[in-house]
Amino acid sequence: MRKISLLILLLLISYKALAQNTKVIDSIHTDTVRNIRFNYKQLIIPGILIGYGFWGIESGQIKSFNFQIRDEITENIDTKVTIDDFTRYMPAVSVYALNAFDVKGKNNMRDRSVILATSTMLTVGAVFGLKSITNVERPDRTSNDSFPSGHTAIAFAGAEFLYQEYKDKSIWYGVAGYAIATGTGIFRMYNNRHWLTDVAAGAGIGILCTKAAYWMNPYLTRKLFGKKEANSTSFISPSYDGESFAITYIKTF
């Protein structure tokens, strides 16, 4: 019963995040780059998730709840599954897959790649920085870098990216992305690699970093490419394997 309640809670959080985003009005940059305006209300959901994660580091009651959830989820597990190593990338990759099938998103290839690269760098930087500071032991006791969950952060960053790019087409793209991200977080707990608080904080960090990437994009676009569209195609592809982070930049003339 607790497993079902946990899944419903995480999906509800994802739904609320999507519902909150629908109230945000898009603006169009003079260089045809479309971005979301900053609104303090956009900080509520990620702020609650990150705050809950940090609270759990010190709160004995939440720590006890972490153990209860861990015991419920990992009960009678014979083998681990590695699907979360792939699902963390699925929401972000879906943006490019949909475009390849001629389902156009909000931004062109160049601009969305800059946004994704910015989001990934912010997310990875925040995750690794907090891991080195907090030193929380993983549930399986293999290391002291449990908080926050990097897999979950990348998955939710991609889910927010997918939602922002395709919400004008259909909100269900975002719903699917957030469902996959939620599943990634659950599998991290199922594999006994993270606590619930790790997953909650990772989700909040991922959402917030993608929002920040959209807020920063007009400035970054002007700095990287100038005000005029060039007759070339640029592609930035970030990647993160859980241990290292890399960015591939391709430009054709």
Show the CA angle centred on residue 236, arms to residues 115 and 152, nearest 5°.
60
Q: Which of 70-90 are b and which e, b meaning 16 or more Cβ less than 10 Å from the residue's Cβ?
A: beebeeeeeeeeeebeebbbb
Show the CA angle centred on residue 54, arms to residues 52 and 57, nearest 5°.
110
Written as tens digits, the pLDDT of the chain (253 aa) is 454 445 445 544 554 555 555 444 343 333 444 556 778 889 999 999 999 999 999 899 999 999 999 999 888 777 788 899 999 999 999 999 999 999 999 999 999 999 999 999 999 999 999 999 999 999 999 999 999 999 999 999 999 999 999 999 999 999 999 999 999 999 999 999 999 999 999 999 999 999 999 999 999 988 888 865 544 455 555 555 555 555 555 554 4
Measure the CA–CA gap between 42 and 142, rounded to whole angstroms. Answer: 36
Q: Which two tokens stand for residue 142?
A: 């293999």
Strand partners of residue 117:
none
Residue 221 contacts residue 29 (beta carbons within 8 Å): yes
Short-list 143, 121, 123, 144, CA closest to 134: 144
Short-list 121, 90, 88, 81, CA closest to 210: 121
Residue type, 122: L
Q: Which two tokens stand for residue 234?
A: 């640029």
Short-list 10, 33, 9, 52, CA closest to 227: 33
pLDDT, residue 247, reads: 56
Q: Which two tokens stand for residue 169?
A: 């087409």
pLDDT, residue 18, reads: 54
pLDDT, residue 250, reads: 55
